[in-house]
Amino acid sequence: MIEQLENIAEAKATKIKRLSSIIFIDDEEAILSAIKSLLRKEKFNKYYFTSPKEALGFISVHHVDLIVTDLLMKEMSGEQFLRLAQSIEPKAMKMILSAYEEKSVVLELLRRGYAQFYLLKPWDDEEFVNILKNFMELHNELEQNNLITYLSSLSDLPNPSTFDTGLLDMFSGEITINQIAQHIEKYPFFVTKLIQIANSVSFGTYRAITSVRDAIMLMGIEPLKELLLSLSILNKFQNSVNKECSFMMNDIWERSLKRGIYAKKISLLWDKPFNRDIVFISSLVSDIGFFVWLYTEPEKYKEFLIKMKADERTLQSVENEYFKYPHHKLGATLLELWNFPFEVVNVVRNHHGNSVGNEVIKIVQLSEVLEGSFPNIQHDSAIDNLIPYYKEKVNNE
């Protein structure tokens, strides 16, 4: 683990420090002029194009971190542009500026991963700027932060390279559901957990799931890789600690699973566009920083839990007293090093802060409130008026 993380840390540390870059595409000059005016004081590189074809030519020779595009354009639709942009600059994040009547197209693009964010026109200026700043902050933090150095110092921390490579690499080529099921069935731990998840009410079925194949068909292949990686992390952590810590890790898992169930239920009632494929997994791994605490500092973690039960302060206040790094930043950096999707990393990093218009963050925060393990958990005040409604709806199902 230490060699892998040291190599990553060295590579990231030697990158030339540069301003983050955003490209905006809209065939209406007035829209681009408004964005220019709004962002004139912001310290990142900004490029503006009324021609989607010219924008594609630009990103084919220049690195950009974020692509913001309209959907309805005469020269080329935003949908076609995003698909082409994904093939040219797959690591860049994509954001859609859309009108409400384009909701079905937005949903499909989010689901397929061609875009990660959306903002309705006309937008709120403060919300728009906050979303862009939030992305840049996360981008810079993941490229240049002390957390990577800290994680590099943890010589025996479990990591994906120590997991069964066949289990995770089987998704790299064409493979059938039966082949995936046969491979997973070699591992009793994964069989048990997958069937446990599949039989949860979060997946909206009333038929008992008793086979791995049925569980995969119910959940879908696309979210399965991240789920298996999450289960692998849990398994590796539990096998690397003593019995008491293993039980405590299982408590974290059960709490995370319960939140995932709530998040899935809430998502079925949510009326705004968002990427449904990442809701459950984002909620499931949102507290992975707790595993790192328990793994590296078990005695301090036990003291932290006792303090949390007796203290009326927020989770964030108590964790700052006990640990150098907050669990959400620790977890987000770890997931980024393990190549989890950026959308999931972003949710984990912000699941106790401002949702900055991200619908998945709002859903995950609501799931944490409804699960209730930490009554004084910090969340975006924007969800306060939603809590009573979803508490009644979800608990009455």
Q: What pLDDT digit, counting tens, does each position of 102-138 carry?
A: 677 887 787 677 887 788 888 888 888 888 887 777 6
CA gap 236, 5 in Å, rounded: 17
The structure tokens 């990591």 sit at 159
Contact between 21 and 45 under an 8 Å Cβ cutoff? The reply is yes
pTM listed for this prediction: 0.68
Region of 120 on the Ramachandran plot (φ > 0 left; ψ -120 to 50 alpha; else beta): beta
Q: Is the dihedral of CA 343, 349, 352, 357 positive or negative?
A: negative
Percent of residues, the chain, with pLDDT higher than 70? 82
Task: Tokens for 306, please give them.
Answer: 């006792």
Residue 7's pLDDT is 47
Residue 85's pLDDT is 93
Is 50 exceeded by the pLDDT of residue 264?
Answer: yes
Residue 154's pLDDT is 64
SS3 32: helix
β-partners of residue 45 are: 21
Residue 37's pLDDT is 93
pLDDT in tens, 354-387: 887 789 999 999 999 999 888 788 888 889 999 9
Contact between 88 and 60 under an 8 Å Cβ cutoff? The reply is yes
β-partners of residue 69 are: 25, 96
Compute CA distances 86 → 59, 89, 95, 173, 203, whole Å: 10, 5, 12, 20, 30
Residue 151's pLDDT is 66
Is 70 exceeded by the pLDDT of residue 207?
Answer: no
pLDDT band at 23 (very low <50, low <70, confident <90, very high): very high
> Which alpha helices (DSSP H) does 41-187 contain, by range?
52-59, 78-88, 103-112, 125-143, 146-152, 165-169, 177-184
Is 70 exceeded by the pLDDT of residue 201?
Answer: no
SS3 99: coil
β-partners of residue 96 are: 69, 118
The mean of the pLDDT values for the chain is 80
Task: Tokens for 236, please give them.
Answer: 């590796």
Is 60 exceeded by the pLDDT of residue 1?
Answer: no
Q: Which domains does the chain show, CATH number per domain?
A: 18-143 (3.40.50.2300), 148-395 (1.10.3210.10)
Residue 46's pLDDT is 93
SS3 45: strand
Is 70 exceeded by the pLDDT of residue 144?
Answer: no
Residue 47's pLDDT is 95
CA gap 96, 59 in Å, rounded: 17
Compute CA distances 93 → 206, 242, 272, whole Å: 38, 41, 20
Q: How many residues does the chain have?
A: 397
pLDDT band at 139 (very low <50, low <70, confident <90, very high): low
Residue 290's pLDDT is 92
Mean pLDDT, residues 14-26: 73
Rounded to 5 degrees, φ, ψ at 391 are: -65, -45
